[in-house]
Structure 1
Amino acid sequence: MAATLTNAPLHVSGLDPHLFEVELRRAPTASPAGGVTATITATYRGTVPVEARLRVSASLADAGDPYWLIPGLFYGDNRPADNHRLYPRFARTVDEPADPGRYVSPAWSFRADRAATPAVFVWGASGGLALAVDEHSSLGLTGIGFAHEGDIAQLHADFPYREEPVSYVGSQEPAAPLTQTHVWQPGERHVVELCLYRLPADRHAYVPVLRERHARSATEPLRPWVDVTEAADLAAYGLHRWHFRPDPAVLLETAAFDREFNDNVRGLGDRAAMHVAWISGIPYAHALLAHGRRRGQEDHVAAGAAVIDHICGNLAPAGTFWGQWTAAKGWGQSWTPVRGGLHARTLAEATLFLHRAVRAEQAAGVDRPGWLAAVRSNLDVAVRNQRADGNLGSLLHADDGRVLSWAGAAGLTWVAALAEAGDLDPGFLEAARRGGDYYARFVEEEFLHGAPEDVDLAPTSEDGYAAVLAYVALWRATRESRWLEFARRAADWMLTFRYSYDVRFDGHTLLAQYDFRSRGADQASPSNQHLHSYGLICLPEMVELSAATGDRHYLDRTRENLACFRQFIARADGDFNAYRGMASERYYQTACFQAKGMLLTLSHAWSVGVLLLGCEAALSLPEVNW
C-alpha cells in the first residue's frame, strides 16, 4: 500500500496483505520543523502465530549522488575509501562494487540505539528527506536505514529492527546481521509511528528536525548523582589518587577498577603511558592545578604543575611537544604507524590548555616562563608549517617538524591555540584567521574528520569539539560575525552526536540498575559506537556561544552534558565496583564492543579530567551550574 506524505510516497511492506489489515493515518506535526506524522495500525487476521516485520519507507528522486546522515552513526559516505579502520561505508554501485566483507554497501540498516537521534536523512540535487522514529515501539527495538539505486534514495524504518547487509560490532570482521523478531498472535494489533520531513537543499537543514526530536524526548528530568562542587572534588581526588605518578610526574592514561586483578597482572590494567593531551596530559593537569588553587589543596597544585613541568621540559627536536611518554620507552611519537609522526590535534590541544594554564597561574601571582616558552615554541612550528591556503597540517615529524600529512581537519585545533595566543604575537591571530578560513570548508560540507589519533580519518564527535573551540576562539578574539556563524554551525554538527533521548536498557544490566540516563552523552564516532564525556572539554565555549547567539538550546544541551556525567563518578570505594573518584571511558548503549548496558571497568585520565575541567568551568558560570 502507499500514501502521500509531503509529496513523497510512503510504502508499508513486510506484512502479507491477505493476513494483515493495515491502516495508515497522517497529520501535520505541530512543530517549527514541519513534516507529517504517520501512524500505522496493523492487525493480524490469521489463525496461527506468524513471524513478521513491518517496514515503512519513503523515496527521494534526483539523488544520484546522495548525502546521508544518521546522527552519531553515518555521515556522507561515512568512511573515506582509504581509511585504515574498517566500519560501514556507503558506495554507489556505479563507483565501487558492494563488498559487505569490508563494510561497503549501497544500502544499510541499523538498530535505532546506534543513533544519537533515531532518524535518517538524505539530500539529493535539489532537496532532502528525513524520517524519524522512537527507539522502541510495541514491536520492540526499532530499526532505521537507507538504500540507493540509480537516482533514487530510499529511507526506511523497521519494526522491529534488522541490520543489513552485515552488523558492525566494533570488529574489523563483520558480524552476521543482528535482528529482533516478533511473533504475531491471532487478533494481535500494534500501532507504530514515524515522522517524515521535506528538507531544503542545505545539508544543515537537519537542525530543526533534531531539535524537535530532542524536545519530544526530553520530558524526564536528568538525575545527576552529585552536584557540581562534589563532582569536581571527586574527579580531582580520582585524578590525583589513581592516575598521578610522581617520578616522573605523569597522569597514567588508565587505572583498573579491579585493583586485585591489576595487582595479579603486574599492574597492566594501569597503562604506564601519558599522552601530552587528548587522553591525558596538560589539559587535565591544568584542571587539577586549578582545582587545587581554588580549594587550597597544595598536593593537587604540586601534582598538576609537576606534570606540566615534565612535558614542557622534554620537547621534541622539532620544537613541539612529543606525542606520548611511556614507562618502557620514555618520550616518543603519537599513535600512528608513520615513523616519527606527531598528531597535530594532540599537540595543538596541549598548547591551547598550556596557554590557559600560564594565564591562570599569572592570575594567581605565579610566573611560569618555561611553560610560556613551550607555548611559543609549539605555535612557531605551527605557523612555520602553515600552507598558503591556511592548512596547518595533520601529522608532523618529531625531528624537524615538517608536515607528513595534510589530510583531514586534525589541524583545526591549532586555530584555537593560535587565536587565544594572539596576545603573545599578532602573527598568531593572523595565522588563526587563515586556518579558520581553510577549515571552514569542512564545516560547510558537514563532514569534519581526523581529530582523534586512533580512528584515522573517520568523522567523530571530537572533530566537532575541535571546531567549536576554534571558531568560538576566533569570534572571541575578533568579534567578527562570520566566525560566530561557523561556531554555530560547528556546534550544531557536534550536537548530532549527542543523545537526545534516554536509551532503554534491559533491567538486569548495570546501566539499568543504576538508572543511567543517556541524554546528554555523545556517541564517540561511527567507528567507536559507545557513549563518552569528551564534550565537556568545550563546555565554556558552548555557554559563550549560547549567550552570543541568544540561542538557549546550546546552553540546555550543555547542561544536559554536564548532568549526564555527574552520573557514574564513584562516590566511595565500591560504587559500581569502582574506587572513589574513578570514571569510565565507555558506556555501552548499543551492541558494539560489549553488550548493551555494560560499562568499561577502566578509569581514564581524560574521562576523569574532562569532568574536572567541565565542573571547574561551570563553577564560574552560574547559568550552567545546577
Structure 2
Amino acid sequence: MPAPSADAPPHQAARLRTPDGGEVALPCVVALMTPEGDCLPVPVHEDRPHPDGSRELRGAAHGFAARMHLRPYGPTDPRAQAYEGALTVRRTARTPTAAGLRIEVRLGQTEDPGWLIPGVFYGPGRLPGCERPYPRFAEGTDDPRALVADAWSFRADRCATPAVFARDRLGGAALALVAEVGELGEQGVGFALLPGRHPALRLHAPFREEPVVYYGSATPRPPRTPTHTWQPETTRTVRFTVHLLDTDPHAYAPVLRTLHERTPVPKEPAAWVGLDEAARLCAYGLHRWHYRDDPPVLLETAAFDREALGERGDRSAMHVSWVSGTPYAHALLLHARRTRDPGMAEAAVGVLDHIAENLAPGGTFWGQWGARGGWSAGWTPEPHRLHSRTLGDATLFLLRALAAERARGHDHPGWERAVRSNLAVAHGGRRAHDGRLAAAHHSDTGAPLTYEGSAGLAWVAPLTEAAAALGEPAWLATACHAGRAFAADLRDEFLCGAPEDVSLAPTSEDGYNAVIAYTLLHEADPGDPRWLDLARRAADWTLTFRYSYDVSFPPHTLLGAYGFRTRGGDQASPSNQHLHSFGLICLPEWVRLARHLHDPHYLTSARENLDCFRQFVARADGDFNAYRGMVSERFYQTECFQAKGMLLTLSHAWSAGVLLYACERARAMPEFEELR
C-alpha cells in the first residue's frame, strides 16, 4: 500500500501548552522510518492523563505497538515546563522487518524558527554571503549538493548536547536525547519546516544524516539512514526529554544547564596531569618543537612523525596571534619568569620583539610571517585584508605581556609603541553612526574594509585594558560604544566570523571573544548593568558549543583506547566539527565572570574545560605516537575530516600555548588550587 506522508493530518494529536499560550503538538506516538525512505506514522489512539501531571500516549499500526510516557520533572519554572519521555515500541507482527524510529513535535506558524542544535546549527546555519560551505537552512529549498535544504538531520555525536530547539510566534520547544547511544544504537536529532511554516523538531533512533552528510568540505557525502531489524516481539525504548519554552531566543540556556546537570559524570577526573606538570610539558613542547631563532618565531605546526616527515611536516609560518604568535609567547614568558628559565625567556621575548618591530604600513600588525614570503595578511581572501580578530588578539596579549614584564621590572618600549599603533587604527576605524569596530583593515592604509560579522569585537578587550594601562580614556569610550553595537549580535544569538578561515560562520571562538570583551567592560565600567548581562549571554552562547557528555568511542580507535573524555571540550564550529581547546583562552575572564554572577555553574564549566584538555599532552616521547610536550589541535569526536576516534597528528603552537596560558593563570586562582 502507499506509505502515508509524515505531513498528513494525524489521527489524533497530543498537545502541550507553552508558557506564552502556544501549543506543541505530538502528531503521532512514533513515526516508523523504512529502508526505502518512507515515513509511517503510528497515530495516537489513546491520550491518557494521570493525576501526577504525566501523560501516556498509545497507538498501534504497521505491525507495531507504541507507548509514550511523558512525566513532568524538575523545579517549577513559569517560563518552561520539562517532561521526561520514554517511547517503548514493540514489534507485534509475526515477521521481522527493518525500521527506524522518529519522535517529532510540531510548533505553530512562524516567520523565523530560530533553529538551534548545539554546536551544529545556529539560526540559518550559514549566511548567504558566507564563503565557507556547510549546511544551510532555506525555506522551500531542496538543493543537497549545495548543502542547502529546509530539513536537516544529524548524528548525535556532532552535537555538543544532543538537542534541537525552535520557536514559533507564541512559544518554543526543545527535544533532547538522554544519551548519544541508545538501545537502537547511535541516535540523532533533526528538524524540518513543514508546509504552513510549522517547525518540526525530531529525534531519530538509529540516527539519520540527511539530505546529505557533511564531512567538512563543499562536496557532500550520500545520506546515511540506518535502520534496526525488528524480530517478532522485539521491544526497544528511546529515552528523551521535552521542554516547553517561551519566545525568548535565549530560552535555551536554562535547558542546556539542566541537561548538563542531569548527565552522569565519572568520579575520577579526565585529566592526565596536574596544572604544574601540564605547564612544564607545554612550555617544553613550545620551545623544543615550535620555536625557531632565525628569525625568532613559533611555528604553527610540528609533525608527530619526525622520522618520516622531519621538518617537511612542519608549517614554517607564524600568525601574530590566533594559531601562533603573541598569546603563546606571552604564556611561555610567564612560565619562564616563574620557573627562572633564561633560555625560554629569551625565546619568548625574541618572538614578541619580532612581531612588534614589523608592523604593516597601515600601522597594525601583519597577519602572518612565512619562511618563504615574509610578512603577509595571513589566510584572508585578499592580499591586503588584515583580519581584526587576529590583530585584536595580538594587541591584547602583547599588552598583557608588557604589563607582566613591567611588574617584574622589565620594560619593552617597542611593545608599547606597537600596541598604541594598533589601537590608534582600531579607534580611528570605528563606524560613525553606531561605533561598531571594523572586522578587517587594509594593510597599507589601516582603513576599515568591512564591518560584517563579529570579528571587530576582538578590539574591545585591548581598548578596554589599554585605556587604564596606558592612560587613554578615549579608548574606553570607544570600547563601550562598540560593546553596545555588538550587543545586537548577542541578542540575535548569532555571532560569526572570528577565525580567518571560516568566513561568516558562527564559531565557538566568537563566543570566547565576547566573554572576554564584556567581562572586561563590566570590570572597567561597573556602573552600567548591561555589561554583566551581556557577558552572561556570551557565556551561555559559548556553552552551546561545549560538550555536556562523554562521546562513546570504538575501542579500536586511538581516542577509544586512551579513554578520551569529551565533556568540557568545545566543538570548533558547525563548519569545523572537531573538538578543540581554544576556550582556555578566556579562562581567567570566565572564572571572574562566575565570581561576578555568584554562579557556580560557570566555574564548573571552566573546570571541565581545563580538565578535558589536560588529556593528550604528550608526557614522554612515544605517548600516543607524539613527542614529549606535543599537543594536537583536533580531536575527532564525530565523522568529519577524519574517522571518529582519530587524532590529528600535528602539534599546534596554539594548542600547547593556550593550555600553558590557562595553567599559568589558573595556578594563581584559589578555585584551582587543588589541581597543581
TM tier, shorter chain? over 0.9
CA contact (8 A) 1:142 1:159 kept: yes
Provide the C-alpha distance between the structure 2 equivalents of 1:53 and 1:181, rounded to a whole number of angstroms: 5
Which of 401, 408, 425 is matched with 1:364 structurally?
A: 408
Q: Which amino acid aligns with 1:195?
A: T
Q: Which of 416-425 and 123-132 deviates more?
A: 123-132
Paired residue for 2:306?
A: 259
CA shift digits 1:256-293 (9 cap, x unpaired): 00001223xxx231000000000000000000000000
CA shift digits 1:283-318 (9 cap, x unpaired): 000000000001111111111100000000111101
Structure 2 SS opposite 1:261? coil
Structure 2 SS opposite 1:268? helix
2:56 is equivalent to residue 8 of structure 1: no
Provide the C-alpha distance between the structure 1 equivalents of 2:270 and 2:568, rounded to a whole number of angstroms: 11
Provide the C-alpha distance between the structure 1 equivalents of 2:166 and 2:13, rounded to a whole number of angstroms: 20
CA contact (8 A) 2:189 2:202 kept: yes
2:624 is equivalent to residue 576 of structure 1: yes
Structure 2 SS opposite 1:390? coil
2:441 is equivalent to residue 441 of structure 1: no
Structure 2 SS opposite 1:307? helix
CA shift digits 1:128-185 (9 cap, x unpaired): 1111112111101111000003221100101111111111011211110123321112
Which structure 2 residues correspond to residues 79-90 of structure 1 after superposition, within 5 A?
Answer: 79-90=126-137
Which of 495, 519, 534 is matched with 2:567 structurally?
A: 519
Provide the C-alpha distance between the structure 2 equivalents of 1:436 and 1:493, rounded to a whole number of angstroms: 16
Q: Which of 600-609 and 471-480 deviates more?
A: 471-480
Paired residue for 2:262?
A: 216
Please report how far the alpha carbon of residue 2 of structure 1 lies from its aligned counterpart in structure 2 after TM superposition. Answer: 4.5
Which of 445, 448, 458 is matched with 1:413 structurally?
A: 458
Provide the C-alpha distance between the structure 2 equivalents of 1:192 and 1:65, rounded to a whole number of angstroms: 29
Provide the C-alpha distance between the structure 2 equivalents of 1:473 and 1:287, rounded to a whole number of angstroms: 20
Provide the C-alpha distance between the structure 2 equivalents of 1:282 and 1:256, rounded to a whole number of angstroms: 22
CA shift digits 1:539-568 (9 cap, x unpaired): 000100000000110000000000000000
Paired residue for 1:493?
A: 541
Which of 287, 309, 333 is matched with 2:331 structurally?
A: 287
Equivalent residue pairs, number = 620
Which of 283, 286, 294 is matched with 1:236 structurally?
A: 283
CA contact (8 A) 1:72 1:496 kept: yes
Structure 2 SS opposite 1:587? coil
Provide the C-alpha distance between the structure 2 equivalents of 1:5 and 1:237, rounded to a whole number of angstroms: 58
2:445 is equivalent to residue 400 of structure 1: yes
Paired residue for 2:428?
A: 384
Provide the C-alpha distance between the structure 1 equivalents of 2:123 and 2:134, rounded to a whole number of angstroms: 13
Is there any run of 5+ residues in structure 2 with no aligned partner, and where? 1-11, 18-22, 33-39, 43-60
Larger Rg: 2
Which structure 2 residues correspond to residues 12-23 of structure 1 after superposition, within 5 A?
Answer: 12-14=30-32, 17-23=61-67
Paired residue for 2:650?
A: 602
Is there any run of 5+ residues in structure 1 with no aligned partner, and where? none
Paired residue for 1:619?
A: 667
Q: Which amino acid aligns with 1:534?
A: F
Which of 500, 504, 510 is matched with 1:457 structurally?
A: 504
Paired residue for 1:132?
A: 176
Q: Which amino acid aligns with 2:447?
A: R
Paired residue for 1:551?
A: 599
CA contact (8 A) 1:471 1:487 kept: yes
TM-score normalised over the length of structure 2: 0.90
Structure 2 SS opposite 1:197? strand
Structure 2 SS opposite 1:204? helix
Structure 1 SS opposite 2:307? helix
Identity %: 56
Paired residue for 1:173?
A: 219
Please report how far the alpha carbon of residue 98 of structure 1 lies from its aligned counterpart in structure 2 after TM superposition. Answer: 2.5
Q: Which of 408-417 and 474-483 deviates more?
A: 474-483
Provide the C-alpha distance between the structure 2 equivalents of 1:123 and 1:5, rounded to a whole number of angstroms: 14
Structure 2 SS opposite 1:183? strand
Provide the C-alpha distance between the structure 2 equivalents of 1:537 and 1:268, rounded to a whole number of angstroms: 29
Provide the C-alpha distance between the structure 2 equivalents of 1:87 and 1:399, rounded to a whole number of angstroms: 33
Paired residue for 2:4?
A: none
CA shift digits 1:525-550 (9 cap, x unpaired): 00000000000000000100000000
Which of 190, 193, 198 is matched with 1:148 structurally?
A: 193
Provide the C-alpha distance between the structure 2 equivalents of 1:304 and 1:402, rounded to a whole number of angstroms: 31
2:360 is equivalent to residue 344 of structure 1: no
CA shift digits 1:334-358 (9 cap, x unpaired): 2112131100000000000011000
Provide the C-alpha distance between the structure 1 equivalents of 2:189 and 2:62, rounded to a whole number of angstroms: 26
Structure 1 SS opposite 2:81? coil
Which of 424, 428, 431 is matched with 2:475 structurally?
A: 428
Please report how far the alpha carbon of residue 193 of structure 1 lies from its aligned counterpart in structure 2 after TM superposition. Answer: 1.4
After superposition, the CA RMSD in angstroms is 1.2
Please report how far the alpha carbon of residue 218 of structure 1 lies from its aligned counterpart in structure 2 after TM superposition. Answer: 4.1
Please report how far the alpha carbon of residue 49 of structure 1 lies from its aligned counterpart in structure 2 after TM superposition. Answer: 2.5
Which of 321, 326, 329 is matched with 1:277 structurally?
A: 321
Which of 215, 219, 240 is matched with 1:194 structurally?
A: 240
CA contact (8 A) 2:100 2:226 kept: no
Q: Which amino acid aligns with 1:381?
A: V
